[in-house]
Amino acid sequence: MLLTKFDPMRDFRDLEERMASAFRLPEIGSELSNVSGFTPSVNTREGDYAYHVEVDLPGVKKDDIHVDLKDNVLTISGERKTKKEVKEKDYYKKESSYGKFQRSFTLPDNTDAENIEANCKDGVLEVVIPKVERSKKEAKKIKIK
Q: How far is CA 43 from CA 55, 56, 125, in A?
A: 7, 9, 10
Q: Please state the domain extents for the chain.
A: 38-130
The string of pLDDT tens digits covering residues 87-142 is 888 878 777 677 788 999 999 888 998 999 999 998 899 999 999 887 666 677 77
Q: How far is CA 112 from CA 28, 38, 100, in A?
A: 46, 30, 28
The string of pLDDT tens digits covering residues 9-59 is 777 777 777 777 776 655 444 444 444 467 888 999 999 999 999 999 988
pTM given for the model = 0.61
CATH number of 38-130: 2.60.40.790
**DSSP type of residue 109:** T
Mean of pLDDT values over 83-90: 80
- What is the Cα–Cα distance from 78 to 55, expressed in whole angstroms? 12
Mean of pLDDT values over 69-88: 85
Whose CA is closest to 130, among 104, 96, 97, 107? 107
Mean of pLDDT values over 56-73: 90
